[in-house]
Amino acid sequence: MEKRVVFRSAWLPYALLAPQLAITVVFFFWPAGQAVWYSFQLQDAFGLHSEFVWFENFTALFADPHYLESFKTTAVFSVAVAGLGISISLLLATMADRVVRGALVYKTILIWPYAVAAAVAGVLWAFLFAPSIGIVTYVLKGFGVDWNWIIKGDQAMLLIIIASVWKQISYNFLFFLAGLQSIPKSLIEAAAIDGAGPARRFWTIVLPLLSPTAFFLLVVNIVYAFFDTFGVIDATTMGGPAQATQILVYKVYHDGIKSADIGGSSAQSVILMIIVIALTAAQFKYIERKVQY
C-alpha cells in the first residue's frame, strides 16, 4: 500500500521546507555563487580594488604547469587513500567478524582513530616520521633508509597517505563490519556444506553481498581524499616540498588564503566543484549499475 501525505494548505509545505532550504542557500549556494563571482575578478589582497577580467583567471590556471601537476598529485593521492583505506579496512572487518572472544575490545580499538581530529592525526604521524627526532626515522636509519620528507617529495606523499588512510580506516571498518554482520549465515553455511573454502566463500558470496557498502564507501572515501584530508596536509607537509603534496583543495587554500590571490583561488574552487559534481554523477550513473543489491 502506498503511503502519501497530501498537504491541503498552499504554503505549509514551503514553510516546512524553509529552514532546510535556508541552510542550503546560506551555507552552500551563497558561498558557491561568490566563488563563481570572484573567479571572474582580479582583486588585490585587501579587497580594495577589483576588476572584472572574464576568463583570465581560468586561462592563467591552465597555462600553469603546477596546476596541471596538482591534478596528477590529487589523482595519485585519492586513488591511494581510497584504495588502501577500503582494502585494509575490509581485511580488518573480515578478521574482526570472525573473532569470538574479546570482539568488543578489538572493535572499539579499531574504531578509535576516527575520533582523532585530522590535524592531530597529521601531527602524530609527522612526529613519528620527523626527519631528525622521529622514532620511525630512527628505525629506518638503522635499515639504511634516508628518511627526510621535508625535502623528498615521494616520502612526503607517503606520509600524508599513511596518515589519511589511518584516519579513515575506522570509518570504513564500521560500515564493512555492519555489512558483514547483515549477511545471512545460512548462505555461508550452505556454501560451506557444498565444499567451498573460506577464500571461495569470501569471493563468491561475501564480497558481492558487500558491494553496496563498498560502493558507498568508495564515494565517501574519494570525497574524503579530495576535501577532508586538508587538516592532515596542513599539519604536516603544507603542500611541500616543491608542491609534491599539493592536492587541488590545498592549492585552493594556499593560493587564496596564503598568497591572497582571491581570483585565481576562486577559479580553482569552481573547477574543483565541477570535478566533484561530475565524479559523483558518474559514480552513481555507471558504477552503481554494476552493484548487486
> Is residue 23 involved in binding another protein (CB under 8 A)?
no
**Which residue in 274, 228, 215 sits closest to 71, CA to CA?**
274
**Which residue in 216, 235, 262 sits closest to 35, CA to CA?**
262
> Is residue 54 involved in binding another protein (CB under 8 A)?
no
Angle at 168 (CA atoms; ends 167, 171), nearest 5 degrees? 120
> Is residue 44 involved in binding another protein (CB under 8 A)?
yes
How far apart, in whole angstroms, are the C-alpha atoms of residue 32 and residue 273? 9
> Is residue 94 involved in binding another protein (CB under 8 A)?
no
> Is residue 95 involved in binding another protein (CB under 8 A)?
no
Q: Which member of 24, 258, 281, 284 binds another protein (CB under 8 A)?
A: 258
> Is residue 150 involved in binding another protein (CB under 8 A)?
yes
Q: Output Rg (C-alpha) for the chain, integer angstroms.
A: 24
The residue (of 181 and 259) whose beta carbon lies closer to another protein is 259
Q: Which member of 10, 45, 100, 199 binds another protein (CB under 8 A)?
A: 45
- Please count the other Cβ atoms lying within 10 Å of the Cβ belonging to residue 257: 11
Q: Which member of 27, 51, 55, 282 binds another protein (CB under 8 A)?
A: 51
**Where are the alpha helices (H) located in 39-113, listed in sequence order?**
56-62, 65-98, 103-111
Stretch that binds another protein, among 5-13, 74-82, 91-99, 148-156 (CB under 8 A): 148-156
| 88-112 b/e (C-beta count within 10 Å ≥ 16 → b) | bbbebbbebbeeeeeeeeebeebee
How far apart, in whole angstroms, are the C-alpha atoms of residue 86 and residue 81? 8
Q: Which member of 46, 52, 143, 286 binds another protein (CB under 8 A)?
A: 46
In angstroms, give the least distance from the CB of 243 to another protein.
Answer: 6
Q: Find cell 555563487 and name the residue.
A: 33
> Is residue 49 involved in binding another protein (CB under 8 A)?
yes
Stretch that binds another protein, among 77-85, 93-101, 257-265, 274-282 (CB under 8 A): 257-265
The residue (of 83 and 240) whose beta carbon lies closer to another protein is 240
Q: Which member of 175, 261, 265, 269 binds another protein (CB under 8 A)?
A: 261
Which helix or strand (DSSP H or E) is residue 201 part of? helix 198-201
The residue (of 131 and 212) whose beta carbon lies closer to another protein is 131
Name which of residues 235 to 254 contact another protein (CB under 8 A): 240-243
Phi, psi of 41 (to 5 degrees): -120, 155
Q: Which member of 21, 75, 257, 281 binds another protein (CB under 8 A)?
A: 257
C-beta of residue 70 within 8 angstroms of C-beta of residue 61:
no
Provide the binding-site residues for another protein, judged by CB under 8 A: 42-49, 51, 60, 66, 132, 148, 150-153, 240-243, 257-261, 264
